[in-house]
Amino acid sequence: MKKSNITFLLFLLSYNLIIAQHKGNYNQITREISRQNILSSGNATIYNPAIQHRTNKVLQPSNVLTIDVKALQNVSATTYTAVFNLSQIGPTAEATNSLMKERIDNIKKRLNSIGITEKDIALDVISFVPVYEVEVTKKLFSKTYTEVPKGFELQQNIHIQFTKTNQFESILEACAKSEVYNLVKVDYFIENIQEVYKNLQEKLLSLIEDKKSYYNTLGFNLSEYDIKIADDKYCYFPKDFYQSYQAYNSISFEALKKDRGITSAKKQTSYYYQPLTYENYDIVINPSILEPVVQIGMNIKLVFIPKPKVQKQQPITKTEIDHKYYVISPNGTIDVKELNTKN
């Protein structure tokens, strides 16, 4: 009986370990990569990765109505541009330029085989400077260190435009065969961004009309309200939404028992793409994504404030005053007469 209990406990322990593995290693997140929005207009909301869990809120009734709607659209890039940096040294300016040209021509030739032609490649010269070395001259009681030119260094950036993400692996291979390993960045481009904004606007306007109908059903006549509005649009690119973490465990009780020094190893830093989450959005277009995308959003906020009641002025009524005059005769008698003012 005891043996079966021990077996059952071991099974539960191993099961929990297996479940924990499915959670992945990204719990140990070190937020080293900034995620600033690179295109924003006005007061665009800066992305905050901290999850705000909702609790039971106490609703406060008010006669001020607010319609706040948000929409997000995930858009795949139309084209991509990869930028690589090349550095070449040589004994003379002509030899340096010739070696650089040979490497670039080999890259172009390999890229041409995968459908990337000359018009999809651009060169950007960064620097072309002489390289100096220190020459030591020994004298009887001293040494002299003199810088002398020994060659030239040429740096260029090569811009490669492509349209499909599966081409990038072949681009890396083509560059690596010419000893080009320094990938600077990959830019994303969208040709029809205005159409995306227009689509988001139409979706939000339709949602606003539904919310207005909802308030009318509740008995609010929106024509009796003054309206204030604020709107915003923004665009986020994938490079600003990568997070990093290190998955390792450096504890060694055996080393502590032996009282020996520990030489720490360089820990591998991993990165993963973490796009905007959808809990704060009313509309999400193309929510399911497989690869990094450009995320374009739009917000519209309407505030309806009751119009001040106009106080009706009471009509002014004219009262008729009876005018009288007095006639005094020479003998002292007084006669009162009515004065006719209607004519």
Report the alpha-carbon distance of residue 93 to residue 52 in Å, rounded: 60
Q: Which residue matches tokens 């018009």?
A: 119
- The end-to-end CA distance of the chain, in Å, is 126
Looking at residue 101, what is its pLDDT? 92
Phi, psi of 144 (to 5 degrees): -115, 130
Contact 339, 324 (CB under 8 A): yes
Each residue's pLDDT tens digit, 186-237 = 999 998 899 999 999 999 999 999 999 999 999 999 989 999 999 999 999 9
Segments of the chain scoring below 50 in pLDDT? 1, 8, 10-11, 13, 15-24, 26, 28-49
Report the alpha-carbon distance of residue 227 to residue 305 in Å, rounded: 6
Extract the tokens encoding 169: 């692996």
At residue 166, the 3 state secondary structure works out as helix
Among residues 175, 88, 172, 162, which one has the least CA distance to residue 125? 88
Extract the tokens encoding 192: 């029809």
Looking at residue 150, what is its pLDDT? 84
Among residues 14, 173, 210, 179, which one has the least CA distance to residue 82? 173
Can you give the length of the chain in residues?
Answer: 343
Burial of 217 (0-12, 13-18, 19+ CB in 10 A): exposed
Extract the tokens encoding 227: 């309206």
Looking at residue 268, what is its pLDDT? 82
Contact 175, 168 (CB under 8 A): no
Report the alpha-carbon distance of residue 232 to residue 210 in Å, rounded: 20
> Based on C-alpha coordinates, what's the Rg of the chain?
40
Looking at residue 23, what is its pLDDT? 45
Contact 197, 1 (CB under 8 A): no
Looking at residue 139, what is its pLDDT? 72
Looking at residue 140, what is its pLDDT? 67
Strand duo 270-273 + 242-245: pairing: antiparallel
Report the alpha-carbon distance of residue 296 to residue 71 in Å, rounded: 8
Q: Which domains does the chain have, with CATH numbers?
A: 25-47+62-77+192-306 (no CATH), 80-189 (3.30.70.2970)
Looking at residue 332, what is its pLDDT? 67
Q: Which residue matches tokens 């995320």?
A: 295
Strand duo 283-285 + 65-75: pairing: parallel
Looking at residue 243, what is its pLDDT? 86
